[in-house]
Amino acid sequence: MFKTKMTELLNIQYPIMQGGMMWISKADMTAAVSNTGCLGTMTALSFPEPKDFAAEIKKVRSMTKNTFAVNVTLLPSFRKVNYDDYLDIIIGEGITVVETAGNNPERVIGRLKEAGIKVIHKCTTVRHSLRAQELGCDFISIDGYECAGHPGEDDVGGLVLIPAASDAMKVPIIASGGFSDGRGLIAALALGAEGINMGTRFMLTKECPIHQNVKDWLLNFQENDTMLLLRAYRNTERVARTPRAKQAFGMEKSGVPIEELRSIISGSKGQRMYELGIVDEGIITLGQCIGLIKDIPTTKELIDRIIAQATEIVNERLGKLVK
Ligand SMILES: Cc1cc2nc3c(=O)[nH]c(=O)nc-3n(C[C@H](O)[C@H](O)[C@H](O)COP(=O)(O)O)c2cc1C
């Protein structure tokens, strides 16, 4: 029904992917999304021990026959990462699609391409997209200012960034940041993308493995309840505007070195919050589309609804506008 380069080249039914989400996109989330006919994505770095990562890949395989991807995040982090250990597993386990993000994919792309893996590089500028294309990536996932995670430092929204990337690139574009429903999917296709990537919307699904307290809390957030953190360190992150995030922002503004924020922004605090439901224990990355999210459906209900709404927009609303 929605046949695009994204569905064709990635062997999926619908042009929708779930972007890697640290501590969240493990087997349950990934397999649930892939079972809907979209592309689920595991995050490699959610597994500090590579052997646990290998076991989780096997778990996803036991839960879905469909294509799924692995996210390899190349951002600077407090933890030292040996990427080759993760690549050994990705290649050894026969993964067919990898989402790279956070930095130039140069240090990993050679091995991935040699192994015949399709690489989706997620970035936030046309300049970085062109570089990733030159390095041999197969798709660019272009992340606008609205997105959860790292929107970059240029603050260009999707409405401009997606067509700008689509005009500049030869490889297909996936639109990322701010998408949560069928309206967004059709808008992305109209702007020149071959499909969409979503993070925040998938957090509020039944299969997302975060504590119900956190999901219920997030349901009350509006589109203006996010903020940018860590800009002073050129590692900007969009997060939920919470007392904890405001405390971190105050420290950032006072000019402390980033290490002093470690106890507040550390991933282990976020992990505890997700697992134990202690709201505001850690910093939570969140996109502006949280303001459009009003319920916690199953991933299947969500995708069925997005596809039905997108189809209706094309057949009913748009189709009738042109005479
Ligand atoms: C809780 C959460 C954790 C995320 N963790 C990562 C990550 O580890 N690596 C990454 O490349 N992107 C990460 N992202 C970004 C998503 O993969 C995706 O690009 C982004 O959420 C798209 O914007 P949206 O939230 O507006 O849909 C995360 C997003 C969320 C909501």
Q: Which domain holds residue 221?
A: 212-288
Sole residue written with tokens 């309206």: 183
> Closest by alpha carbon to 310, among 123, 38, 97?
38
pLDDT digits (tens, 9 = 90+) for 131-188: 999 999 999 999 999 999 999 999 999 999 999 999 999 999 999 999 999 999 999 9
pLDDT for 210: 96
Same domain, 152 and 224: no
pLDDT for 280: 86
Same domain, 134 and 201: yes
> Closest by alpha carbon to 97, among 157, 11, 28, 171?
11
Cα–Cα dist 229/238, whole Å: 6
In a domain, 315, yes or no: no
What global pTM score does this model have?
0.97
In a domain, 60, yes or no: yes
Q: How far is the CA of 20 from the centre of ligand 1 (A)?
A: 6
Q: Of the candidates 172, 191, 207, which is a domain's last residue?
A: 207
Same domain, 222 and 186: no
pLDDT digits (tens, 9 = 90+) for 239-253: 999 999 999 999 999
Q: Poorest-confidence range of 1-5, 21-25, 249-253?
A: 1-5
Q: Which of left, alpha, beta for 62 (phi over 0: left; psi -120 to 50: alpha)? A: alpha
Query: Which CATH number characterizes residue 39's domain?
Result: 3.20.20.70
Q: DSSP string of 186-208?
A: HHHHHTT-S-EEESHHHHTSTTS
Residues with CB under 6 A from ligand 1: 19-22, 24, 43, 71, 73, 101-102, 122, 143, 146-149, 176-179, 197-201, 203, 285-287, 289
Cα–Cα dist 171/105, whole Å: 16
In a domain, 321, yes or no: no
pLDDT for 76: 73
pLDDT digits (tens, 9 = 90+) for 281-307: 889 999 999 999 999 999 999 999 999
Same domain, 196 and 99: yes
Cα–Cα dist 173/163, whole Å: 9
The residue that leads in pLDDT, 174 or 319, is 174
Q: Is the pLDDT of residue 319 over 90?
A: no
pLDDT for 266: 82
Q: Is the pLDDT of residue 79 over 90?
A: no
Q: How far is the CA of 150 from the centre of ligand 1 (A)?
A: 8
Same domain, 145 and 257: no
In a domain, 32, yes or no: yes
Q: Of the candidates 175, 207, 239, which is a domain's last residue?
A: 207
pLDDT digits (tens, 9 = 90+) for 39-50: 999 999 999 999
Same domain, 161 and 93: yes
Q: Is the pLDDT of residue 80 over 80?
A: yes
Same domain, 76 and 179: yes
68-81 average pLDDT score: 88
Q: How far is the CA of 315 from the centre of ligand 1 (A)?
A: 31
In a domain, 110, yes or no: yes
Q: Which protein residue's CA is at the shortest distance from atom 6 of ligand 1?
A: 21
Q: How far is the CA of 270 from the centre of ligand 1 (A)?
A: 14
Same domain, 225 and 141: no
pLDDT digits (tens, 9 = 90+) for 206-252: 999 999 999 999 999 999 999 999 999 999 999 999 999 999 999 99
Q: Of the candidates 207, 237, 256, which is a domain's last residue?
A: 207
Same domain, 73 and 195: yes
Cα–Cα dist 5/83, whole Å: 29
Q: Is the pLDDT of residue 18 over 90?
A: yes
Task: Work out how many domains the chain is built from and give that number.
Answer: 2
In a domain, 260, yes or no: yes
